[in-house]
Chain A
Amino acid sequence: MSSREDILARVRQKLGRNETNAAVARAEIDTVLAAKAQGPRPQVDAEKSALVGRLIDKSRAYSSTVDQVATRGEAPAAIARYLIGLGLPAQAVIWPKLADLDWASAGVIVQARAAQDADLVGITGCFCAVAETGTLMLCGSVDSPAAISLLPETHIAIVPASRIVPGMEEAFALARKELGQLPRAVNFISGPSRTGDIEQTIVLGAHGPYRVHLILIDGA
């Protein structure tokens, strides 16, 4: 008997499984999967400006920094200002999805490709953002590779205000609605990477970015 059969057989035996109760249980499982019932939720005001406000507060609580601009077109200039302000090189690896922005006029040299170890700055968009906890939801795909938000020491994310949802439940619902199936790599990111392993002292910048900077687009 294969291990699969052996393990499942023992579980079935322990549960007193038979054909009748299996049919009932299968129906139950389908109901549960269809119902997608939610647990109790903390109150999150779903009004747009409240969502923006909460996302900003919670992101800052997670050691991210936030800048706000009116339109998507203003993002490159805002990013250039941020990089110069920190004395970082105005040079970045970006999601292919963002290649249409006018980076050249802002003075930022960008390359749309997979991230490499030497990349110091990674610029991404996001699928949506979760106001409840100040969290970005990134979906890895052909034009939004996952490592760009991971390998560089500085991660900058462009977040349209219209894409802020109250909780993780809405984020998943949006993915189901717009993408059909869940993309291969969904990453929820809340601030820079951190560790508390040595004496439970929090240090920012463990294996991933040291800095996460949000560019909130109010008019998008």
Chain B
Amino acid sequence: MRVGLFVTCLVDLMRPRIGFAAIELLEAAGCEVVVPATQTCCGQPAWNSGDRASAAKLAKKVIAEFEGFAYVVAPSGSCADHIRNGYPGILADEPAWLARATALSSRVFELTDFLVNVAKLETLPGNFSGSVTYHDSCAGLRSLGIKAQPRALLAKLPQVSLKEMNAAEECCGFGGTFSVKFGDISAAIAEKKCNNAVATEADAIVGGDLGCLLNIEGKLRRMGDETTQVLHIAEVLTAK
């Protein structure tokens, strides 16, 4: 199975290890992983800011780079959702591109969804030990139905215990550009998320979207919590 890995711009810049962890997991599931070198960003910031032209330009770029693969996988529910469900709408007025966007759409997956439902990964390469609490990021949860998948994978790690937090499905306040346009509101929402997460006394807050994780980690540290780890699910599943 030839899988194109969409690394995402945040992972590229901030947390390369998540990209490598994703590769490790996909390979453990028997996939041949290809990382197109020219990839940049899926264009979601432009789309959500109301810049259709830029969003369309970047959408076409991603489609051209990835349409040759059997599957496209991203370690982010938000980016996967944008490529899967956003592109057809963005390119609705250009029939040729719309057809290509639609053809790609059903082959785009968020990492844990792909591992559980397509690749059917049985044995994980990692053996993380500790307690974790899982934050359900919005786009993955509400658009792609990512809820059971990461938990199913965590359940395969014998030394991991999952402590569910209150309101795990509530937004962390990140919201992409929202976090830098309305920083105070964003941080206030993040504080509630952090309080809920910390109340579980889990060793690590885990999620599937780096944007949310940076937001949570940033707030947590500002609140003076230096010990609770904030990790991407791929890091947990591959931790040695």
Direct contact of A and B (CB under 8 A): no
